[in-house]
């Protein structure tokens, strides 16, 4: 079943689209950092829609991502599970490898380790602010094996039909109460079935994969 009973659509604004959060590579779309409230509240079979923000030229208010949550795991399980080893960052590798989002696990003393990654400082050292924001509210991340990712060819969709306006964090819609949201999901997968689990086009900021971001200041280095 495409839309399960008691499921929700969580629609949010993507302010930065490097290919890190969300990370659509290796046949799985993952949301492992940023958006802690969505990562905490979303459950298996819920839907996540990522919509281009104002600073993403050409994709503002267009759908970059639509994914169905197939698994919800802890950071440590994400790190330990061999299925997700390709999601671990390699900062001297390809752009896809540089943007690996499998970056958090616990050390022997129980403290968080942040791998050299898009969320580290420019020299690869721990960015404490990013760690706090990523792990503070929840240690859960989301995996999807059924998604559409359009990147810089983001899709124009009828956001007014789901009353998506000036949302500060995200909008949570009970799908059983919204025929419009259900119809939007169904029509997107019907019309783009040949693109399921594919990267239709590169992330908007993919060419700058070498850069790092500080969530506290918004500064990109």
DSSP characters over 142-193: EEESEEEE-GGGPBP--GGGGT--S-SSEEEEEGGG-HHHHHHHHHHHHHTG
Question: How many C-beta atoms surround the C-beta of residue 116 within 10 A?
Answer: 18
Helix, strand, or coil (residue 109): coil
pLDDT value, residue 169: 84
pLDDT value, residue 165: 85
pLDDT value, residue 168: 75
pLDDT value, residue 119: 98
What pLDDT, in 10s, does the model give residues 86-102? Answer: 999 999 999 999 999 99
The length of the chain is 221
What pLDDT, in 10s, does the model give residues 164-192? Answer: 987 778 999 999 999 999 999 999 999 99
The arithmetic mean of pLDDT across residues 48-77, rounded, is: 97
Q: CA nearest 150: which of 81, 94, 206? A: 206
The arithmetic mean of pLDDT across residues 148-154, rounded, is: 98
Reading the block at residue 68, the tokens are 């169905």
Distance, CA of 49 to CA of 51 (rounded, Å)? 6
The arithmetic mean of pLDDT across residues 128-150, rounded, is: 97
Is pLDDT at 201 greater than 90 in this prediction? yes
Q: Is residue 213 in a domain?
A: no
Q: CA nearest 63: which of 215, 217, 181, 207? A: 181
Looking up tokens 């020299």 gives 123
**∠ CA 143-145-146, rounded to 5°:** 115
pLDDT value, residue 75: 98
Q: Is residue 158 in a domain?
A: yes
What pLDDT, in 10s, does the model give residues 109-132? Answer: 999 999 999 999 999 999 999 999
Q: Is residue 221 in a domain?
A: no
Q: Is residue 3 in a domain?
A: no
Is pLDDT at 56 greater than 80 in this prediction? yes
- pTM for this entry: 0.95
DSSP classification of residue 88: S
Q: Is residue 85 in a domain?
A: yes
What pLDDT, in 10s, does the model give residues 6-34? Answer: 999 999 999 999 999 999 999 999 999 99
State the burial class of residue 19 (Cβ atoms within 10 Å of its Cβ: 0-12, 13-18, 19+).
buried
Q: Is residue 66 in a domain?
A: yes
Q: Is residue 215 in a domain?
A: no
Distance, CA of 177 to CA of 206 (rounded, Å)? 37
Distance, CA of 149 to CA of 116 (rounded, Å)? 26
Domain count, the chain: 1
Give the mean pLDDT of the chain.
Answer: 96
pLDDT value, residue 1: 87
pLDDT value, residue 218: 85
| Domain that includes residue 166, residue range | 8-208
Q: Is residue 39 in a domain?
A: yes
């Amino acid at each position: 079943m495409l839309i399960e009973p008691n499921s929700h659509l969580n629609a949010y604004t993507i302010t930065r689209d490097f290919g890190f959060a969300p990370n659509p590579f290796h046949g799985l779309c993952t949301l492992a950092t940023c958006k802690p409230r969505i990562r905490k509240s979303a459950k298996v079979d819920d839907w996540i829609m990522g919509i281009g923000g104002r600073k993403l030229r050409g994709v503002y208010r267009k759908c970059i991502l639509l994914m169905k949550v197939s698994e919800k795991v802890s950071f440590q399980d994400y790190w330990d599970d061999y299925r997700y080893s390709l999601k671990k960052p390699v900062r001297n590798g390809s752009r896809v490898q540089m943007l690996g989002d499998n970056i958090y696990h616990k050390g022997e003393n129980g403290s968080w380790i942040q791998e050299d990654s898009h969320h580290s400082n420019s020299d690869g050292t721990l960015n404490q602010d990013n760690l706090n924001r990523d792990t503070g509210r929840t240690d859960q991340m989301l995996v999807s094996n059924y998604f559409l990712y359009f990147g810089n060819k983001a899709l124009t969709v009828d956001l007014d039909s789901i009353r998506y306006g000036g949302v500060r964090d995200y909008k949570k819609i009970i799908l059983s109460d919204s025929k419009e949201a259900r119809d939007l999901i169904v029509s997107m997968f019907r019309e783009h079935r040949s693109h399921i689990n594919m990267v239709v086009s590169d992330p908007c900021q993919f060419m700058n994969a070498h850069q790092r971001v500080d969530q506290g200041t918004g500064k990109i280095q």
